[in-house]
Amino acid sequence: MDSTGGVVTHATYDASELAKAMYRSMNAERVEDYVKKPLQESIHQEGERTFLAASDDLLMLLVLTHIDLLGYLYKGSSKSSYAVGFIRDYLGRIDPRYVEVGGLLYDALRHGMVHLATPKRIRLQDGKILDFLFIRSGRREDCLKIKKIPETQRTGVVDIYRLTLDIPLLYRDLLSAIDMYAEDIRHNQELSDVFSKAFEARRKPEKEKEEDLTGKPYIRKSDFDFVREQILRL
């Protein structure tokens, strides 16, 4: 019996479950179409040659901004901890070392690359310096390894260590992580619902209001006057 006193048939139940399954599949395809494919197209515009010739900085920015997006879609809100959660939960399935060091990678690389166009250098508690080194060996055993800068290459007396990161390998790991995320959405209703809500909410205009933006010190009245003047001419 349902809440109205009617009989719930197997056909009704099956139709409801089928509809949910189809919607989950649609959301999984959205991950493919709106997250994975744009990332691939940005890097492979002219085939593998573009990928190999692209700058390390550009590749890192593309990877990290997509991790930001995936964290938002995965948890339904834009927080650094959610992006790190995606790294640990999905990239960690590919290489368990992402689980161990994912938070440090995100903070030093994402925040450093976005705000300073270079990874952060971190002073460890014992005075040593942790830096990062981008490589392109293609071998997993060469990635996430600590290397000490020889004294002959240092300008000071402080010991400097570099954590290696293979950018093509990270990129391919991210593509695999996206595939796993999409597959989880295909079979997990709760994960699919969170994704769907976040995906639809990304560009709602009420998220940004003029009165809120004009309160920021770097936004002038002329910024919106520029827009309004052109709207009036239409």
Nearby residues of 29 by Cβ (< 8 Å), 6 or more positions away: 182
Distance CA 115, CA 119 (A): 9
* Confidence at residue 80, expressed as pLDDT on a 0 to 100 scale: 94
Residue 56: its pLDDT value, please? Answer: 81
**Cα 105 to Cα 77: distance, rounded to the nearest angstrom:** 20
Length of the chain, in residues: 234
CA angle (188 as vertex; 29, 13 as ends), nearest 5:
100
pTM for this predicted structure: 0.84
Report the percent of the chain where pLDDT is more than 90. 63
> What share of the chain in percent tops pLDDT 70?
85
Instruction: Label each residue of 69-121 as H, E or C.
Output: HHHHHHHCCCCHHHHHHHHHHHHHHHCCHHHHHHHHHHHHHHHHHHHHCCCCC
Residue 121, pLDDT score: 93
18 burial via Cβ count (<10 Å: 0-12, 13-18, 19+): exposed
Q: Which two tokens stand for residue 202?
A: 């990304």
Q: How many helices (H) and strands (E) does the chain have?
A: 12, 5
In the chain, domain spans: 10-233
Going by pLDDT thresholds of 50, 70 and 90, the confidence category of residue 149 is confident
pLDDT of residue 7: 53
pLDDT at 205: 67
SS3 199: helix
Residue 209's pLDDT band (boundaries 50, 70, 90)? confident
Two tokens, residue 139: 């071998």
Per-residue pLDDT tens for 13-64? 688 889 999 999 999 999 999 999 999 888 765 445 555 555 788 888 889 9
* Cα diameter, the chain: 84
Q: 65 near 39, Cβ under 8 Å? A: no
